[in-house]
Amino acid sequence: MTTISNDPAWWGLINWDRVHSYFVVSSYTVVVYEWVLTFSQEVELVWRQRWSLMTALYIGVRYIGISSMVANVLSTIMAVSMTDAHCTILWFVQVWTPVVVNAMLGVIIMARVLAMYQRSKQMLVLLGVVLMACTIASGVMVVIANTNASGKEFIRSGNHQCVVFYHRGRMALNNETLIPTFVWETFALCLALRIAIKHFCELRQTSTGSMFGNWFIVLIQTHVLYFVAFVAVSCFSFGSLSPNIIYSTSMGDTAYFGILQIVQPIQMFVLGPRLILSIREYHTERVASSDEPIAMRADVFRGRRHVSTNFTSV
């Protein structure tokens, strides 16, 4: 049931929501603009390739991201009327999207790290156990935080707002779900840096050092850039738990939450898909510039099932 109020005491919150909506629309624009810019690459490197797990993960991350951004924009448009059920659905989309997408990105990162370790079975088990444990922990935290959560529409001074009610003591859990994911991302990056440093030292003495060195550079550069973005998201999320920020409607704190609304979609829906595109693009360029077969091929990211090589590939 919609609650209507014209109390001037709500004007500060109305202004907060209005400014916050500008940041949400800006983040949506960034995600869609990047998708348009890379669509030709996507068609060539994803849609025209043989389907594989990596193809499905790329499409999932990309289009779940765009869909969730549309839902996020709808939830912040104060001129649009929504039922209580719609408010609840939009809320659950917002809280579950990071868990699902970060799990999918975790599988992509696991495949990249596993390729660096030449698909070692021991490394596969280790990565799989850590990723599964962290993902389950994040999911359980979201379930606990949002048990009995419900949305309600308020009309304040003519502005439609979706307000979610849930247990106040569990409020912080929605942001703390990034802690298990942070553990996974740090663990994966450390393993990637360890094997990369080892290979660079070994390849100095081999004639193939340039080719394999470039391949590792592509992997590490995109991985580190993605990790830096994830750290930024984590810092903003953990910082938002401060009572001085979460209960404030000042312009500075509004901008703080707004920046988080921009950084998080960039990490998941812009840099995430590039983890796959970068490898496939590198392979395509190597094929185009070489007259001889390439020993190192990104089989998983290209969707090929088997190629006989001296090194196990991504």
The span from the CA of 90 to the CA of 124, in Å, is 36
CB 251 within 8 A of CB 19: yes
Q: Which of 22-26, 247-251, 273-277 is the least confident region?
A: 247-251
* Per-residue pLDDT reduced to its tens digit, 160-192: 778 777 776 667 778 888 899 999 999 999 998
**Two tokens at 169?**
């003591």
* Per-residue pLDDT reduced to its tens digit, 74-111: 888 776 777 778 888 888 998 899 999 999 999 999 99
pLDDT attached to residue 281: 87
Region 3-286+293-302: CATH code: 1.20.1070
pLDDT attached to residue 296: 41
Position 282 pLDDT exceeds 50: yes
CB 31 within 8 A of CB 62: no
pLDDT attached to residue 79: 67
Residue with tokens 């929504």: 82
Residue with tokens 């070489």: 290
Q: For the chain, which residues make up each domain, given as ranges?
A: 3-286+293-302
Name residue 281's amino acid.
E
**Two tokens at 75?**
């939830």
CB atoms within 10 A of CB 113: 24
* Per-residue pLDDT reduced to its tens digit, 261-281: 999 999 999 999 999 998 888
The span from the CA of 128 to the CA of 142, in Å, is 21
Q: Containing H/E element for 300?
A: helix 299-302
What's the rounded mean pLDDT across residues 30-44?
93
Share of the chain above pLDDT 70, in %: 82
pLDDT, averaged across the chain: 82
**Two tokens at 42?**
């996507």
Distance set, CA 71 to CA 66, 68, 187, 311 (Å): 9, 5, 32, 44
Query: Which has the higher per-residue pLDDT, 243 or 68?
Result: 68
The span from the CA of 39 to the CA of 182, in Å, is 30
The span from the CA of 94 to the CA of 40, in Å, is 29
78: Cα within 13 Å, side-chain hemisphere: 18
Position 49 pLDDT exceeds 70: yes
CB 267 within 8 A of CB 226: yes
What's the rounded mean pLDDT across residues 138-159?
83
What's the rounded mean pLDDT across residues 113-131?
91
The span from the CA of 127 to the CA of 115, in Å, is 12
Task: Flag whether the pTM goes above 0.75.
Answer: yes
Instruction: Say which residues have a Cβ less than 8 Å from residue 139's Cβ, sequence separation at least 6.
Output: 99
pLDDT-derived band at 212, boundaries 50, 70, 90: low
What SS3 string covers 80-147? Answer: CCCCHHHHHHHHHHHHHHHHHHHHHHHHHHHHHHHHHCCCCHHHHHHHHHHHHHHHHHHHHHHHHHCC
Name residue 112's amino acid.
R
